[in-house]
Amino acid sequence: MRPTSFSKVAIDMYTEQMKWTLWFMVFILVAQIAHIILVISPLNIESTLRNFLPFLYGSAKIYMLIIGIFSYGFLTFYVTQGVTRRDYFIGSSLAAIGLSITIIIIGVILTGLQFMILDRIIDYPMTSPLFDNHGFLQPVYYNMNIFIFYLIGYLIGIGYYRFGWIIGFAFVAFAILSIILTETLLKSQPAIAFTGLLALTATILIFIRQITKRMAVKV
């Protein structure tokens, strides 16, 4: 295997972005703990206990969008190191998939711990159950959606990088429409939601590949 293959790009990008993600997860966990304290405190500042996974999911979408926007910086580095644009595209996509899966798995585990611990010490109703609109597929849809948000950010980043600010606004417009579509799909029947999210993911990936295929790298 070549030392600059897509697998190396995937491992390197996943490792680097996971370092950022751990800080993000710590921040979300601290915020959730603060929320729990407010709920169970005598002051009763908040009355309903929130589930951790949906709380994480809402923030993770914005987080993935942001790091997706700045992911074009890796392209400049790897291309100057001799990595082909094709290998970078595959590697960066695999890294984003791995990152999305890891975030949701951690969220599911921490949600389970939240239920186990709090069920022993308090008796409060919890909103946003782990498996709600789509049953046991809910974490899967969460995973697909935050991956799409990463790709949307990725597309915005390379759009501005290649075409500049004026045309870049068209990519922002496309991103807004894509976000609206994903949120709409998640409210649909499971088969429609799954098929629609897959189609949107494939469409954005195709756009990214076509834009980066012959894109000049600014050194």
Which residue segment(s) compose the domain that 28 sits in? 6-212
Class of residue 93 by CB neighbours under 10 A (exposed 0-12, middle 13-18, buried 19+): buried
Token pair 């579509």: residue:
181
**What is the pLDDT at residue 1?**
43
Q: Is residue 218 part of a domain?
A: no
**What is the pLDDT at residue 191?**
84
**What is the pLDDT at residue 38?**
79
**What is the pLDDT at residue 208?**
94
Tell me: pLDDT of 45 over 70.
Answer: no
- What average pLDDT score do residues 106-117 get? 86
Q: Is residue 190 part of a domain?
A: yes
Contacts of residue 141, Cβ cutoff 8 Å, sequence gap at least 6? 134, 186, 193, 194, 197
Q: Is residue 166 part of a domain?
A: yes
Q: Nearest-CA neighbor of 101 among 65, 140, 62, 69?
A: 140
Q: Is residue 12 part of a domain?
A: yes
Q: Is residue 24 part of a domain?
A: yes
Tell me: pLDDT of 51 over 90.
Answer: no
pLDDT averaged over every residue in the chain: 85
- What average pLDDT score do residues 194-203 get? 94
Distance of CA 202 to the CA centre of its chain: 16
Q: Is residue 217 part of a domain?
A: no
Strand pairing category for 49-50 and 126-127: parallel
- What average pLDDT score do residues 161-186 get? 90
Higher pLDDT, 36 or 149: 149
- Report how far residue 115's alpha carbon sits from residue 26's, in angstroms, rounded to the nearest whole number: 19
27: which 2 tokens?
A: 């921040």
Q: Name the β-bridge partners of 49.
A: 126
**What is the pLDDT at residue 174?**
93
Contacts of residue 166, Cβ cutoff 8 Å, sequence gap at least 6? none
pLDDT digits (tens, 9 = 90+) for 128-171: 454 555 556 788 889 999 999 999 999 999 998 888 888 889 99
pTM of the model: 0.89
Q: Is residue 152 part of a domain?
A: yes
Into how many domains does the chain fold? Answer: 1
**What is the pLDDT at residue 134?**
56
**What is the pLDDT at residue 122?**
65
Q: Is residue 1 part of a domain?
A: no
Q: Of the given ranges (17-26, 82-91, 114-123, 205-214), which has the lowest mean pLDDT?
A: 114-123
DSSP per residue, 168-212: HHHHHHHHHHHHHHHHHHTTS-HHHHHHHHHHHHHHHHHHHHHHH
